[in-house]
Amino acid sequence: MIRPLALTLALALIAACSSAPETEQTFSGYLHDYNKLKPDPEDASKLIWYAEDYSANNYAMIDVEPAKIWLSPKLSDKEVVPAEKQQAFAAYLVKSLKEAIPEHLRTAAAGNNTLIIKPAITGFSTGSADLAAYQYLPIGLIVVGAMEATDSRDKVPVMFLEAEAIDKDSGKVVAQVVRRLSGKDIDPDLMTDNIVEAFYPQLDAWAKELADNLQKQVENIK
């Protein structure tokens, strides 16, 4: 049964997509601070933030910590992916990130001038490509009942990721990203057979995107 409060919230988002919901209603709590995140002008499915003094050129190595499953407690009873599959997603995300970073920029034991990437999977849900209200929102779960109330039946799987980049020497958070991955192009049969493998291309693409951006600037040190 859809909880009345959750349904009311989702319907309100649909009716007033121009109004940003409260932070605690849309983010997992994994990142230290969500208030500075801004939409990426080149990618509507991503929110980003960089510290004013941040420069990837300050780092000679990139380390990737194990990905965490960090689902919102308020929404965990509605999650659609079993726990064992959630861990499989996390393991593959780290594998993909490490493979996307060139070997000479990877480190098993981070030293000085190291940028530490801390990724997390923060939500699994079903969404609708027809609902513009959800396009920019990193919501850990979209209430299916609310989408049905809009007469939309075009459901697609959605995954949400959050990551921080941390300066190892100072411990300071220097960059953050919130990313929504849509499975709208995934074969429904593949989703049924193996939902983890179905998302491999999306996870690989995000890992490459992140690694390419970092590598491009880190290698300027040389």
Residue 71, phi-psi category: left (phi > 0), alpha (psi -120 to 50), beta (remainder): beta
pLDDT band at 5 (very low <50, low <70, confident <90, very high): very low
> Quick one: DSSP state of residue 133?
G
Pairing of strands 43-50, 173-182: antiparallel
pLDDT attached to residue 93: 94
pLDDT band at 127 (very low <50, low <70, confident <90, very high): low
All domains of the chain, ordered by start, with CATH?
4-12+30-221 (3.40.50)
| pTM for the predicted model, two decimal places | 0.72
DSSP per position, 65-110: PPPEE---TTTGGG--S-HHHHHHHHHHHHHHHHHHS-GGGB-SS-
143-165: pLDDT as tens digits? 333 333 344 445 667 788 899 99
> 178 with 72: CB under 8 angstroms?
no
